[in-house]
Structure 1
Amino acid sequence: MDSAFCHCKCHRQDGAVIVTVSLVLLFLMGFMGIALDLGHLFVVKTELQTAMDSCALAAAQELDGESTALTRAVSAGMTAGNLNNVNFQSATWSGQGKVVSADITFKDSGYLSTSTAANAKYAQCQHTQSSVNMWLLKAMGAFSGNGAAYPNTQNVLALAVATRASSQTTCPIPVGLKPKTGGTAPNYGFQVGEWVDMIGKGTQVNGELGWYNLDGSTSASETRAELGEPGYCGTKLGDTLGTPGTQTTVDTPWNQRFGIYKNSDPGPSVNHPDFSGYAYTSTNWTNAVPQNAWSGMPAAGSAPSAANFTTKRAAFASYDDTGSSLSGGDSITGLKLNSFKTLATPGTGGQHNLYGFSRRLVTSPVVDASSKVIDYACMFMLQPLSGPTVDVQLEFLGNAGDKASPCTTNGLAGGSAGPLVPVLVR
């Protein structure tokens, strides 16, 4: 009798233990699911925030107040944001959609929404990554039979806001400008719109540009590296620049900014062009000094297709206006580009638009006789290089520290009067 009673009771206790263990396991799995899936969301949030930061900084760099600023800012923001990978470094963002133009908006100085380029002071990038899978919570829902209590997916939102501010350090190109004799700040004897000779080989004199290494070295390979992407950042007032030896390969990264590539180059998606590659020489732009190819009107005798760069940039024009191969020669500027055969394609759907950044509007150190940085100039790259040691010209567009300057460099913000750099404010 007692044995039968014990046998029955023990079996009932065994069943209770199984139920208890099951409930505990379910409870523990819930905690594991929350930890794992929240960790997943945190990773996605971090990656998405990096993409939005990149988007906002690139968009803010274009807010120069010109009529095309917002169009360029949207294009640059989308390009920079979508270079990032999201959802455990998925290149396609797990197929849930990448940054689109509607994700990029602009604010005025009072932080009110604006669609007027002259008023836009802040660029805002905001994107929601939808349908991020919840791995264990989804399994919990299936296990418990209560899917409503355990969501299969979640959405993740990230937002970033950037503006332009004065810098402490900059990321200029490795090309230094010597003031004209007797020239003083802010323009050092140059007229806005004036074309300035850059000496490819030989001795640079006052009033000219020349090659300088921003890191202070004398290596010609360093010059090429500083001219390419991502370039060299950290240049400060008072730095002494290096004077490199004979250049041999700087024409490649220089011409990439114009959307002009050698056949072996991976092309615009890797080595980004400017929004336009259209070039200017005295052959197709006959204006007297100051020539003002940046925003002026072409003088009589200029090429029939000639227009200022702000116009060409708005049309995403290529070097030869068509985007065709250069193998048959250059019919625009009269330059001979030898081994450079391939052009970025023009137009709204072309590679200048899809992959473009502001890469021909550059900051150049102003240097004294001892190669010391005393200021920064805003310069516009006019022509590609037909060889690594040839002379070309750039257009002087004023002091880069001027709040009205169209130039924006990269670097560390927080200066009192340095060139403008994009900086995150949210």
Structure 2
Amino acid sequence: MKPPRHRQHGVVAIIYALMLVVLLGFAGLAVDLGLMYQRKAQLQNAADSIALAAALRLNGTAAGVAAAGAQAQDIAISLHTGGSTRLTWNDSALRFSSDPDAPANAWLSAAAAATTPAAMRYARVDTRQLGGAPGVMQPFFMGVLGVALPAIDIAGVAVAGPHALNVLPFAICAMGPATQTRANSVLVQELVEYGFRYGVGYNLLRLNPASAAAAGEYFLLDPLAPPGTPSPPANTDDSQIGPFMCTGKVAYVNLLGGAANLRRPGAFTLWPQLNSRFSSTPACNADAAPPDANIRAYTAAQAPWMNNAAALQTAQSTPAGAGGQPLRTIADPAPLLPPVAPGLYGVLWTYGPALRATPPNLGFATANWQTLYPSAPAISGIGWPGAGLPPYRNPAYSTPPPQAGRSFRRLLYVPLLSCPVPAGQYVTAPVLAVARFLMTAPATATELSAEFAGVLGVPANGEPPLAADVELIR
């Protein structure tokens, strides 16, 4: 006997009501999860962007840590998450470390990181600390249906940092103390860093701070084994170092942690790799090592801002072994210098001027050339275009490459070593600083012409940072 039709209708209604609850539950769950996924993706993208921006500013100095914090704040407050909600910056959201795998509680605040800035290479961002970026999200629609679900973690956490350094695998000795005032006259007090004068060209293969030095002291830097780690001899073979000389990088992120691994070469054979900065060479991959955006070689003919044509590319070396003095240039002995032929100072001020010793270390004017570089007849640079746009960065004194180039490829970041370095072929020595030198002309087996442009601090004018290939670690 069949049940009455009205009773069947009642069963269907009950089943429909039950199914409706289930369907609404699944729909609510889908909406909740979708909203959470969207919000978590927004917060993770924000964390990624802020961490990358901060890590790009870290350069081993306290100023770099401060710049990282300022850049992180600028990026954070420009971002929106969850419709019109704008993030509010909090310094506690950003932390620093020398180890990308350090536990969360071991990362340092900006204030603490600034006390040991040379070791800070990685930035970590946690959006839980940012206003407008909650760390958890409670499912809403499921709660309306009376289903209690735990809050879901939607915070974005990111770690960013380099996996290489923009450091040439070539090192030289520091030629003096970290900073020194050179008293050329009462009014011309000049800043000297590690024995180098801003604006003066040096042959980096002909420098040696040792007493009565007769030959230059330079080294090839292991590009694979960081300081303080074992260095197989094969790491510093020319064939191994060649590609790193092309790119101007080493495959680690810190010059701290111990003495750098070095080899004394019997001869300098890697000059073709350096010259990739002027034109493509079979020694280098053109994609990884393009020419500079300006390939003009600043020889005497290409330095029209000097009214006395340079007889040499770099300042003339002092006589090797003379009088127990180090091997340096005629521009470097203590003042007052005896006048020499003006061309013997080489090409001057291609990248920038000599700097005053008193902060803010402004550049000298060319009217001071005769005091800075005594000569007979008098030397002057009346055609120099000015500190705001010196020759290397001045289109009027530049030559573009025949193919796509990259700005500042000729700016070499060279480690300065604590010398003397022990005798032997495979040696170690501490790195005191990283100096900037501009290649003024193509190198040869006996000459690497480079103008001193200061110890690397906060890069300026678009210069590459010390950290290379900054990326998201996680």
TM-score range, shorter chain: 0.3 to 0.5
Q: Is the radius of gyration larger for structure 1 or structure 2? A: 2
TM-score norm. by structure 2 comes to 0.38
